Amino acid sequence: MAKVLTIHGGVPLKGKVTVRGAKNLVPKAMVAALLGDSPSVLRNVPEIKDVAVVTSLLKIHGVTVSKDEVTGDLTMDPSGTKTATSNEIDTHAGDSRIPILFCGPLLHSLGEALIPNLGGCKIGDRPIDFHLDVLRHFGAEIDKAGPLGTSIRAPHGLTGAKISLPYPSVGATEQVLLTAVRAKGTTEVENAAIEPEILDLISLLQKMGAIITVGRDRVIRIIGVEKLNGYNHKALPDRNESASWASAALVTKGDIFVEGAAQRDLTAFLHTYRQIGGEFEVTDDGIRFFHPGGDLKPLILETDVHPGFMTDWQQPLVVALTQATGVSIIHETVYENRFGFTNALVEMGAKVQLHSECLGAIPCRFGQRNFQHSAVITGPTPLTGADVDIPDLRGGFSHLIAALAAEGTSHVTGIELINRGYEKFMDKLTDLGARVEMNEIA
Ligand SMILES: CC(=O)N[C@H]1[C@@H](OP(=O)(O)OP(=O)(O)OC[C@H]2O[C@@H](n3ccc(=O)[nH]c3=O)[C@H](O)[C@@H]2O)O[C@H](CO)[C@@H](O)[C@@H]1O
Ligand SMILES: C=C(OP(=O)(O)O)C(=O)O
């Protein structure tokens, strides 16, 4: 039975939501537990699909994962780590992007790793060439990278390496970290990503006994150690979920206190929010986001790696820009195909034109290659309810907040995708006063 969410729009979202540990850190912290020779404890764990997927992957590799019924904290004991069968691995094909990060830890423990084909949002090709090159630098052999997944071995162990990433990829940087901490000798990675979730992963690895320094100009150095212990760590809050609810407040002319939102990790977002005309108040417990009344202002924006404007913030913000007075331009420089979600916004009444040129100050990797990676948004345009099928996590959130702001009723399918990154999504919407009903259809 498929689910369809009916949304009656036009209600400002008001109230409080709580964000917990980041989707882009928690599953990776769980993978890091494989590196220890004693159990690890992870706190502030959200109930989202990627956590369920990694819990299952750890279990089929012999890791005991137990959850505290009251706090939700996870205790992961890797003492029984074993090779999983290809059938077990195959059950997770297409689920998430995290399995590729099992390579380093499994190669250290078992000398081999079998990785299912990856899932994640369909916002570009999302190749894994950087990951496989990184692993080869450490001495791993890629037996097979084909339709049934990737099989990797390290018959001679893994040795530290000097690596320069072609682009500051988040996943490839994490691949380096999770492999280098127990490799023989020293690793140096240039052009590394330094997103807050990566720095939190480094903190956690440091607790385990890893030797890591983050130097100038995105260079990270790691001295491998033979053994690591388990960690006890509280995951950093989800800055992407925080930014999503902030955009929801602006789009619906509402007022949302996001408990747990951390200003430190949202500097670029808060700057942009204020430029558009959104208001916020930072407290020790979170951030209140609200529409202060009056017109929203258009802007010109490029997504970028940290400390730039995060690509995952772009999609919900585009909905707010449909309500700004004037022309806004967004140049998406991280993914080549992240504007597909705007088709549904156009059906709802928005004016969005896509272009393959780089409409930004810096020409990016996608210029002259026929990727529609720049968007011109003209507002304000009233939005009306529509029937929408959610394409991906952030595009889906954008559709939902557009429907919440629109006049009339919308029907949304594919809502399950939202569970990848938004904990207790329906409860939060209801608590904020949204008029929504979930029904099942044959
Ligand atoms: C689970 C997780 O943490 N997901 C985040 C992570 O994704 P993820 O780690 O997959 O993103 P990357 O930073 O690796 O990707 C950035 C760019 O590099 C390219 N690339 C990446 C790897 C590779 O081997 N070859 C290659 O060409 C990608 O196609 C993309 O164009 O960082 C992205 C950028 O901040 C975020 O949008 C995602 O929410
Ligand atoms: C692109 C995203 O996630 P993933 O890398 O897990 O697909 C996202 O969170 O917006």
pLDDT in tens, 229-257: 999 999 999 999 999 999 999 999 999 99
| Residues 93-121, mean pLDDT to the nearest whole number | 92
Q: Report yes or no: 148 and 86 within 8 Å, Cβ to Cβ.
A: yes
Cross-strand pairs, 113 = 152
The residue with tokens 């492999």 is 179
CA 287 to chain centre: 20
Q: Give residue 332's pLDDT.
A: 97
Residue 148 confidence (pLDDT) above 80? no
Given pLDDT bands bounded at 50, 70 and 90, which one contains residue 90? confident
Given pLDDT bands bounded at 50, 70 and 90, which one contains residue 147? low
Q: Which residues, 6+ apart, have CB-to-CB distance to 343 below 8 Å?
A: none
Q: Ligand 1 centre from 335 Cα, in Å? A: 8
Residue 171 CA: nearest ligand 2 atom is: 5
Q: Is 17 annotated as a binding residue?
A: no
Is residue 122 lining ligand 1, measured as CB closer than 6 Å?
A: no
If you take atom 2 of ligand 2, which residue's CA is the nearest one? 121
The residue with tokens 């977002």 is 269
From CA 358, how far away is CA 372, in angstroms rounded?
A: 9
Closest listed residue to residue 240, CA positions, set 24, 10, 388:
24
Residue 146 confidence (pLDDT) above 70? no
State the alpha helices, DSSP H only, in 35-85. Answer: 49-60
**Residue 340 burial (C-beta neighbours within 10 Å; 0-12, 13-18, 19+):** middle
Given pLDDT bands bounded at 50, 70 and 90, which one contains residue 270? very high
From CA 304, how far away is CA 308, in angstroms rounded?
A: 5
Computed on alpha carbons and rounded to an integer, the radius of gyration of the chain in Å comes to 22
In tens, the pLDDT along 284-301 reads: 999 999 999 999 999 999
Q: Report yes or no: 401 and 323 within 8 Å, Cβ to Cβ.
A: no
Given pLDDT bands bounded at 50, 70 and 90, which one contains residue 307? very high
The residue with tokens 């791993």 is 140
Residue 97 CA: nearest ligand 1 atom is: 1
Which of 146-150, 198-202, 438-442 shows the highest mean pLDDT? 198-202
Residue 331 confidence (pLDDT) above 70? yes
Closest listed residue to residue 338, CA positions, set 297, 395, 290, 283:
395
Residue 442 confidence (pLDDT) above 80? no
Q: Ligand 1 centre from 126 Cα, in Å? A: 7
Residue 126: count of CB within 10 angstroms of its CB: 15
Q: Probe ligand 1: pick from 129, 170, 366, max atoms within 8 Å of CB?
A: 170
The whole model's pTM is what? 0.97
Q: Report yes or no: 272 and 254 within 8 Å, Cβ to Cβ.
A: no
Residue 240 CA: nearest ligand 1 atom is: 39
The two beta strands, 255-259 and 220-223, are unpaired
- Sorted by where each starts, the structural domains of the chain and their CATH numbers stand as 2-19+237-441 (3.65.10.10), 26-234 (3.65.10.10)
| Residues 273-277, mean pLDDT to the nearest whole number | 98
Q: Give residue 145's pLDDT.
A: 64
State the alpha helices, DSSP H only, in 304-387. Answer: 311-321, 342-347
| Residues 409-413, mean pLDDT to the nearest whole number | 97
Q: What is the dihedral of CA 125, 339, 258, 119, to 10 degrees?
A: -20
Output phi, psi for 114, to 5 deg.
-120, 120
In tens, the pLDDT along 367-376 reads: 989 999 999 9
Q: Ligand 1 centre from 171 Cα, in Å? A: 6
Q: Is 70 annotated as a binding residue?
A: no
Question: What is the percent of the chain where pLDDT is above 90?
Answer: 90
CA triplet 2, 17, 319: central angle to 5 degrees? 65
Cis amide linkage into residue 298, ω under 30° from 0: no
Ligand 2 contacts (CB < 6 A) are: 23, 97, 120-121, 123, 240, 312, 393-394, 421
| Residues 24-45, mean pLDDT to the nearest whole number | 98
| Residues 351-375, mean pLDDT to the nearest whole number | 94
Residue 50 confidence (pLDDT) above 90? yes
Tell me the average pLDDT of the chain: 96
Q: Give residue 290's pLDDT.
A: 98
